[in-house]
Amino acid sequence: AGVDFLTNDITKPYWETGGKICEVNIQAGIDGMSPDPENSGFHFEQVFSLMFPEGTRTAIPMVVILEDGPSKTVAALNDVFKSQNLMVGRKTTTEVSIGNNLLVDVMGNAASEAVLWNPMIDAAIIQETAKSIEAYGLAYSVSECVILPRMPSNNDPETVKKILSTLTQTAVQAVVYNTDDKQLSDWVRSNDQERYYPVSLT
């Protein structure tokens, strides 16, 4: 659909300008503004090359870590991102933050959405637990990378397998897992192992 939006300054977010949607069209086409069959698609090309310049990445790094309690992996990854001066959005089991700012009174999937939809962030770290996925599902269908530090132990084994499958299916780039965890390794072996990257202390 095409959404017509009125604002007095398109460079600013709507919550600053107070802009409003005035019309929604079901068969939108910006080429209609200057119809020219020879240059069909020209305007779209301009829009897309502005939004996604060639060679730049079009998605921010988004990593999901499946781990209970305070996660050292979350902390380590946060350090890596921060060392690259990236603005990190984080949802952990204890806090939700954008950079150094804590978001209060937001939990669960709403917290994941608050992080992932925040236009300020350059990278996202989402911590999940098997229990929360079992209870509430996921707030997203795609992630870049899923990290599995250990096999979740506080759920019934069949449920854990379902949770692992659901979560790892979101990873478009990779699933990085601790191969020193025997149960986790066994689970990976029983799966399609493409895109799985083992990490071992030995």
Residues that bind other proteins (CB under 8 A): 57, 61, 63, 71-73, 75-77, 79-81, 84, 86, 123, 144-145, 147, 149, 173-174, 176-178, 180, 197, 199, 201
In sequence order, which residues have a C-beta less than 8 Å from that of residue 94 and are 6 or more positions away? 70
Q: Looking at this protein, which amino acid is placed at residue 113?
A: E
Give the pair of three-digit tokens for residue 94. Answer: 């204890």
Per-residue exposure over 112-121, b if at least 16 CB sit within 10 Å of its own CB, e if not: bebbbeeeeb
Q: Which of 138, 144, 99, 94 is nearest to 120 (CA)?
A: 99
Nearer to other proteins, 14 or 197 (CB): 197
Nearer to other proteins, 11 or 202 (CB): 202
* Continuous segment of H or E residues that includes residue 144: strand 143-148
Least Å from the CB of residue 170 to other proteins: 14
Nearer to other proteins, 123 or 138 (CB): 123
Least Å from the CB of residue 8 to other proteins: 39
Nearer to other proteins, 60 or 110 (CB): 60
Nearer to other proteins, 44 or 52 (CB): 52
Give φ, ψ of 99 to 5 degrees: 60, -130
Cα-based distances in Å from 202 to 180, 181, 199: 8, 12, 9
Cα-based distances in Å from 35 to 5, 28, 31, 152: 22, 13, 6, 58
Least Å from the CB of residue 133 to other proteins: 19
Least Å from the CB of residue 192 to other proteins: 17
Nearer to other proteins, 47 or 59 (CB): 59
Least Å from the CB of residue 144 to other proteins: 6
Q: How far apart are CA 48 and CA 136, in angstroms?
A: 35
Q: How far apart are CA 89 and CA 118, in angstroms?
A: 8
Least Å from the CB of residue 78 to other proteins: 8
